[in-house]
Amino acid sequence: MILRCSSLILAVLLSAQIPTAPTNVVVIVDGIVPAPSPLCTGTLRYVRQAASGSANGLDWTNAFTDIPSSPVRGVTYCVATGNYASRTFSTAVSGTTPISIVGATVNDHGPATGWSDAFGVDVTQATWGASFTFTTSNWVFDGVAGPVWSTTPSQYGFKIADGSSGAFQIGAASGSSITSITIGHVASLATANDTEKLFLQGATQGGAHSFITIRHSLLNRWQNCMMTRGQGGVSSDDWVFEYNVVLNNSSTSANHGECLNPNERPMNRLVARYNWWKGNSGNAGLTGIIVANNSDNNNGQFYGNVIDTVSTGNGIITGTSQGNMNNAVVYNNTFINSTTATMDWVNGPGSGNLAQNNIVYNMDASIGSGWAHDYNWYRATTNTPVEAHGQSGGSGSPFVNLATFNYHLIAATNAGLTLSSLFTTDADSKTRGSDGVWDRGALEFP
Ligand SMILES: [Ca+2]
């Protein structure tokens, strides 16, 4: 189902114990058309916890009551509302043929008989146990339903049980390379405990982990969103983090927060786009949001994101003493009301990094080593960099309504730099510059 959310979305976030959490969240997303989600199409089997037929999965009356213990390659499992167990997915690969586990919705539940609209995960979400492991390649796990940037957990087709310290793991203690795991439309709330809290981590096995994607999901109170582990020297390539909401990114003195984190392996070509970060939890500043933590972060592309009110130590997008940020592009993001101990919103160590067309508002704006920068808009900033095509000055919010998290611009910015076709749309799927001005910041005006 392609989600088209053209109207006001009102969402209420219930996490009053977190001081920086938004309490009444209103996000306006005009004309959002995300990339297509998986559908209940192809070779189908049906899954509904409360089904009482013969449990052969061939229609809704006879649906499986959970995902079968040995899912079959090439099959799409359409899942109705209910409570389902987490598990290790280990079906042997067959070429590149995936196994898809997708939410069944009112408008997309396959042709089988026995359906009732009350089964839809867009009516009542499906809830899963807290901890999944994928030990083979080519899996899709997608709840299908959920407006972009919704902070209301119940709007997502799938929910992971609250309070865990780990939701998804790629690989196991030993094994070969794993590729193409996509997780979408999942709502999750990590434990409040001060412990390592990893939404998705690669495991220690020797092979590479590539093309791992998290999209259209709600991550609340996690310390790390995507983290590599494993043998040094084997990289994790082409990971994607897109259209997600990250609330209350957790960081403590014992467990430092780094949302996107090459830890024990380097990341190459990480893409983070169209995400919204809001607030922190815990008692210590995050190392950063996108970090070269204990390994290098090479050739990343970070664009169209909004980062609002985060507190970091090294930088929002940053290298560390143990990892270099190299050849990153940071284009058309919006940074708001955030603090960094170094005062750098982008920082090294590293080389070849480029920051352009961003808005930095109401915060320190200094830039660390290893970065070239131009065409940024610095408003109500201190330590404001000088740029040949920079925009600066003025006061007051240039956004429609920060209190309701509406990050659209009130007016056009000075023209930003026209970038390559990779970067021509924003999180609303609006084409940048179609009015003659390619605006700075995450969301194109008008
Ligand atoms: Ca414009």
Å from CA of 423 to ligand 1 middle: 14
Residue 58 reports pLDDT greater than 90: yes
Q: How far is the CA of 375 from the centre of ligand 1 (A)?
A: 15
Give residue 218 CA to ligand 1 midpoint distance, Å. Answer: 29
CA of 147 to the centre of ligand 1 (A): 24
pLDDT higher than 50, residue 9: no
pLDDT at site 333: 98
163 or 174, higher pLDDT: 163
Going from the Cα of 354 to the center of ligand 1, the distance in angstroms, rounded, reads 22
Residues 187-232: pLDDT tens digits? 999 999 999 999 999 988 778 999 999 999 999 999 999 999 887 6
Return the pLDDT at 22: 37
- Distance from the alpha carbon of residue 28 to the mean position of ligand 1, in angstroms: 18
The domain limits of the chain are 1-37+204-240+256-446
Cα–ligand 1 centroid distance for 418 (angstroms): 11
Contact 257, 223 (CB under 8 A): yes
Ligand 1 centre distance from Cα of residue 332 (Å): 12
Window from 129-133, 171-175, 328-332, 362-366 with minimum mean pLDDT: 171-175
Report the pLDDT value the prediction gives residue 35, as an integer from 0 to 100.
Answer: 42
**CA 216 to ligand 1 centroid distance, Å:** 25
Q: 289 alpha carbon to ligand 1 midpoint, in Å?
A: 27
Closest CA relative to residue 267, chosen from 244, 315, 300? 300
C-alpha 416 to ligand 1 mean position (Å): 9
Position 27 confidence tier, pLDDT thresholds 50, 70, 90 = very low
pLDDT at 18: 29
Query: How many angstroms separate the alpha carbon of residue 67 from the centre of ligand 1?
Result: 47
How many Å lie between the centroid of ligand 1 and the Cα of residue 422? 17
CA angle in degrees (0–180, nearest 5) for 396-400-406:
120
**For position 37, what pLDDT does the model report?**
56
Closest CA to 178 of 241, 83, 73, 98: 98
| Averaged pLDDT, 18-32 | 35
Global pTM reads: 0.92
Position 24 confidence tier, pLDDT thresholds 50, 70, 90? very low
User: Got the DSSP string for 21-36?
Assistant: S-SEEEEE--SB-PSP
Which tokens hold the place of 146? 């959920």
Q: For residue 135, which amino acid is it?
A: T
Give the model's confidence band at 6: pLDDT under 50 very low, under 70 low, under 90 confident, else very high: very low
Q: What is the pLDDT of residue 38?
A: 56
The rounded Å distance from CA 413 to ligand 1 centre is: 8
- The mean pLDDT value for 289-311 works out to 97
Per the prediction, the chain carries an average pLDDT of 91
- In this prediction, residue 1 carries a pLDDT of 30
Lowest mean pLDDT among 167-176, 292-301, 425-434: 167-176
> How far away, in angstroms, is 439 Cα from ligand 1 center?
5
